[in-house]
Amino acid sequence: MSAELQTRSERKHDDIMRAATQAFIDKGYEGASMDDIAGRAGVSKQTLYKHFSDKDRLFEEIVLATAGGVDRLVALVGAPLAESKDVAKDLTALARGMLAALLDEELLKLRRLVIANAGRAPKLGRAWYEQGFERVLTTLANAFEGLSNRGLLGPHDPLVAANHFVGMLLWIPLNEAMFTGELQKRTARNRDAVADAATEAFLRAYGSPPDA
Amino acid sequence: MSAELQTRSERKHDDIMRAATQAFIDKGYEGASMDDIAGRAGVSKQTLYKHFSDKDRLFEEIVLATAGGVDRLVALVGAPLAESKDVAKDLTALARGMLAALLDEELLKLRRLVIANAGRAPKLGRAWYEQGFERVLTTLANAFEGLSNRGLLGPHDPLVAANHFVGMLLWIPLNEAMFTGELQKRTARNRDAVADAATEAFLRAYGSPPDA
């Protein structure tokens, strides 16, 4: 009984999160009202406030859940990378997977929303940056350090290497999405070409020396 | 007399642009009213509308002027680069100069504003992207092509090289500024270290082969 109640409560929690995400994306942070969110989620305002004391808290949880999801994804691909026997192959797969995941339309719209509100709500922007952005870089840096210790990458600072890998991979496609609003413009083939070019340049800069 | 009139008109034009930039930054695009902008610029609403038919047009001109300014700056540094005799030295200077210029507080706030409104006003976002972002990359790619022809960079696609150079240089500091709102966090020394690391990695990936 208690377990079932908790499950129902968790389900409502998830319904609210999904409804609020859509409301924020459609109307912006200021434009989305708690009334609107309750209506979309199909719950009473009383229920909504039982789960989230205010709009800020709700936005914060969405941002943290999204940022955490990105990091889990990278960890999933990054952990095997540290054990890799074919760095070029596995790094290419990581680059392609990361780019495809980050060019998700909802994720990009949330990203833009966080940037738009970073002046008003710096705490949220910082949460996204630290919980998502920086954690991904740390995860990658750990994988690169493992490869470097095994002589499969050169002896460079692994965090700088991670910054540069991600910068080469994401700078163009993410800015294109942020500025032009054409979130689904690139084909899978084009995305893969961007990922492959970034990986090749990265390996020239950070790969193990040819005589190693 | 006619020249003097034109000068006065141009001065008012500039006053309005400056006042509108501040109004947009302070209140966001939606929040800034034409009344507010006229008040800040010290002109009548009639004068304001003589210069700009509506708020969209005004925002557009600010975005284009800013994007154009960035491109001129890069061209100023990029043109001598194509003639460079010491690529490492001149590329380091370019990287440091670009990073310092792009971490300007007003520019970052405008950049965030353009991203925030890219869903509502994709034309503006696209203008910033094409007139500023892409033109800078083309300017850089031209310089890299010149260096490559002279054997001072390797035989790689110069536009991909430009994308990667800028990505390694700007990905971390610009995202940090976009998300955390800490626009003036980095010291000049730290900025230079970021620029130097990006240049070194770039030259490992794109420099001329050691036996050339």
Instruction: Say whether both B75 and B95 belong to one domain.
Output: yes
Q: Write the residue in B122, B163, B172 that is nearest to A181 by C-beta.
A: B122
Instruction: Say whether both A106 and A187 belong to one domain.
Output: yes
Interface pTM (ipTM) of the complex? 0.89
- The distance of A4 to chain B (nearest Cα, Å) reads 39
Per-residue pLDDT, A160: 98
Instruction: Say whether both A97 and A29 belong to one domain.
Output: no
Reported as a single tens digit per residue, the pLDDT across B78-115 is 778 878 999 999 999 999 999 998 898 888 989 999 99
Q: How far apart are CA A16 and CA A54, in angstroms?
A: 13
Query: B168, A170: Cβ pair inside 8 Å?
Result: no
| Domain around B14 | 1-53
Query: B179, A109: Cβ pair inside 8 Å?
Result: no
- The distance of A141 to chain B (nearest Cα, Å) reads 14
Task: With respect to residue A212, please indicate whether it lies within any of the assigned structural domains.
Answer: no
Instruction: Say whether both B100 and B124 belong to one domain.
Output: yes
Reported as a single tens digit per residue, the pLDDT across B146-162 is 999 999 999 999 999 99
Chain B neighbors of A178, CB-CB under 8 A: 115, 118, 125
The number of distinct structural domains making up chain A is 2
| pLDDT for A1 beyond 50 | no
Instruction: Say whether both A15 and A110 belong to one domain.
Output: no
Averaged pLDDT score across all residues of chain A: 88
Instruction: Say whether both A178 and A199 belong to one domain.
Output: yes
Instruction: Kindly indicate the confidence band of residue B64, based on its pLDDT and cuts at 50, 70 and 90.
Output: confident
Which residue is associated with the tokens 């270290």?
A: B193
CA nearest to B109, candidates B75, B56, B66 = B66
CB contacts < 8 A (A, B): 119
User: Can you read off the two tokens belonging to residue A203?
Assistant: 């390996």
Task: With respect to residue B134, please indicate whether it lies within any of the assigned structural domains.
Answer: yes
Instruction: Say whether both B44 and B67 belong to one domain.
Output: no
CATH code where residue A94 lies: 1.10.357.10
B153 DSSP β-pair partners: B207
Reported as a single tens digit per residue, the pLDDT across A140-184 is 999 999 999 999 999 999 999 999 999 999 999 999 999 987 766
Contact A110, A62 (CB under 8 A): yes
Task: With respect to residue B212, please indicate whether it lies within any of the assigned structural domains.
Answer: no
Instruction: Say whether both A114 and A25 belong to one domain.
Output: no
CA-to-CA dists, residue A198 to A7, A165, B42, B161, angstroms:
44, 7, 50, 10
Task: With respect to residue A211, please indicate whether it lies within any of the assigned structural domains.
Answer: no
Chain B neighbors of A126, CB-CB under 8 A: 179-181
Chain A touched by B31 (CB under 8 Å): no
Instruction: Say whether both B80 and B149 belong to one domain.
Output: yes
**Residue A196: burial class (beta carbons within 10 Å; 0-12, 13-18, 19+):** middle
**Residue A189: burial class (beta carbons within 10 Å; 0-12, 13-18, 19+):** exposed
Instruction: Say whether both B114 and B167 belong to one domain.
Output: yes
pTM exceeds 0.80, yes or no:
yes
Chain B touched by A205 (CB under 8 Å): yes
User: Can you read off the two tokens belonging to residue A50?
Assistant: 């039982």
